[in-house]
Amino acid sequence: MVVGAKKELSGSKSMIIFLVSLSLLLYGVGVLKVNPAVCLIFSSLSAIYLGMAFGCQWAVFEENMGETVKKMFMGMAIMMFVGILIGSWMSSGTIPLLMYYGLKYLPAPFFLIAACLLCCAMSLMTGTSWGTMGTIGVALMGVAQGLGIPLPYAAGAIVVGALVGDKLSPLSDTTIVAPSVCNVNIYDHIKSMLYTTLPCLVISLALYAVLGLNFQQQNLAANENYLLILNTLEANFKLNILLLLPPVVVLVLIFMKKPTIPVFGVGIILAMILSMGIQGNTVKQVLVACTAGLGKSTGVAAVDAMINRGGLLSMMPSVGLIIGAAIFSASLNSCGVFSMFLNSVEKYTTGRKSLLFFSYILHLILASLTGVYLVTFAIVGPLLSPLFDRFNLSRRNLSRMLEDTGTAFSPIVPWSNISIFILGTLGLSSFEYIAYAPLTYLGVVFAVFYILTGIGIYNSDGSLVVRLVASKKR
């Protein structure tokens, strides 16, 4: 990427461009509730016009945009394959099979724990916390209501499970984009995420175990919503154990660290074969599902919402958002905004700990202000990467920070896109369920602990700053 304008702007001019473009973005996203991708484009235009008025050359903008979009291209390509993958797995009955057995063997005395783990498993398999909350999450809220379990408890468990799966799934857009903007291997990124994600999950499950003690054992088999969902899934899909083949093969290949797109291609082809062979769908029906989702009507709204997901087109809004974020990021960089911030960070950063603390504070503020963490990923990742290199810190620390303060923390922010989505699907505001979703705020707490102690912090060569297990040579 070309760094800044050929005619270097003063810090005050760069700050004016940043404040104007950010104000337009916040006004469009936060006040007008306009599509974030459109707001990013218009904010980019404001930066471009002001920058050119101050003496920046269009060639610099053009080159930076091309380089930024090029860097993000593989992430966008993977997201499109994920959409096709989900559509094919819906068509084959693979995801409905997982839903069916997950619901059927849900232990009633441990509903909150089971709901959290079920959402975690589904989010891991599909790579989408939104899809998980909008499908099985909606169904679980209905079951919780029938059982007399407080809805904030259920919503907290669903959100935690969905976010854990989203943060650790190689199919997730955030898990793809965060390491992509930091130039980090996705599997190294996932490994580093375990330090802040797993402790939060354990604490969350302990909380749900304690909350579950307040409720008497009840039989899910007598719940009408629960039975209706099970019977509808069973009536509309042939639930054959062979349908587990695509996810099993994909997971094995992922653990073998095979290239992502070819692996997804194998999962898609297997699902298409099973869809035609077991479900009896035609080639056209399978391809339509891969394009726009299953589009199946079962007569039960809750089930329709669960299964009519995925498809290439479902990923286009996210792809558009990433392109808009890339253009916005490149426009600010061309105007010297990144250099201005980098100079400020360099001025006040005295060591590794101050850099790590600054990165968390900076992204927490920006992600909270914009409410769209994929936007800030593209800004903060490229901005701080050179500093992490300079202080001999692995960039996986940076990519993990983006997720801890973005993916996990954003549900706390009432105006964030995910909070609005949760309100629309689960019917609760962030203030109602957040106390029962420890993952959203404890990730940052654990991060502070790791920064202070050095535990879980990686050097640039991939080694840990503090090794918890002593070397055999010692």
Query: What's the rounded mean pLDDT across residues 58-72?
Result: 86
Query: What's the mean per-residue pLDDT of the chain?
Result: 83
What the block records as the tokens of 312 is: 């290439």
List pLDDT tens digits, range 377-389. 877 888 888 888 8
pLDDT at 28: 87
Cα–Cα distance between 256 and 328 in angstroms, integer? 36
- The H or E element that residue 330 is part of is helix 316-334
Q: Is the pLDDT of residue 464 over 50?
A: yes
Task: Yes or no: say if 416 and 408 are a contact pair by the CB < 8 Å rule.
Answer: no
Task: Yes or no: say if 184 and 386 are a contact pair by the CB < 8 Å rule.
Answer: no
pLDDT at 292: 93
Q: Which residue has the higher pLDDT, 326 or 398?
A: 398
Q: Is the pLDDT of residue 342 over 90?
A: no
pLDDT at 321: 75
Point out the least confidently predicted range of 26-30, 156-160, 194-198. 26-30
Task: Yes or no: say if 146 and 228 are a contact pair by the CB < 8 Å rule.
Answer: no
Q: Is the pLDDT of residue 474 over 50?
A: no
List pLDDT tens digits, range 122-173. 888 767 787 778 667 877 776 776 566 888 999 999 999 999 988 888 878 7
Query: What's the rounded mean pLDDT across residues 177-182?
Result: 84
Q: Is the pLDDT of residue 202 over 90?
A: yes
pLDDT at 200: 93
Q: Is the pLDDT of residue 74 over 80?
A: no
List pLDDT tens digits, range 236-291. 999 999 999 998 888 788 667 677 789 889 999 999 999 999 999 999 999 999 99
pLDDT at 344: 78
List pLDDT tens digits, range 279-331. 999 999 999 999 998 889 999 887 887 788 778 998 888 788 778 877 887 89
Task: Yes or no: say if 93 and 243 are a contact pair by the CB < 8 Å rule.
Answer: yes
Prediction pTM value = 0.71
Residues 383/384/387/392 CA torsion (nearest 10 deg) = -140
Residues 202/376/347/466 CA torsion (nearest 10 deg) = 20
Nearby residues of 35 by Cβ (< 8 Å), 6 or more positions away: 317
pLDDT at 242: 95
Query: What's the rounded mean pLDDT across residues 346-350?
Result: 80
pLDDT at 371: 66
pLDDT at 281: 96
Cα–Cα distance between 358 and 379 in angstroms, integer? 15
Task: Yes or no: say if 264 and 82 are a contact pair by the CB < 8 Å rule.
Answer: yes
pLDDT at 7: 61
pLDDT at 2: 43
pLDDT at 17: 94
Cα–Cα distance between 357 and 189 in angstroms, integer? 19
Percent of the chain scored above 70 by pLDDT? 90
Q: Is the pLDDT of residue 413 over 80?
A: no
Percent of the chain scored above 90 by pLDDT? 27
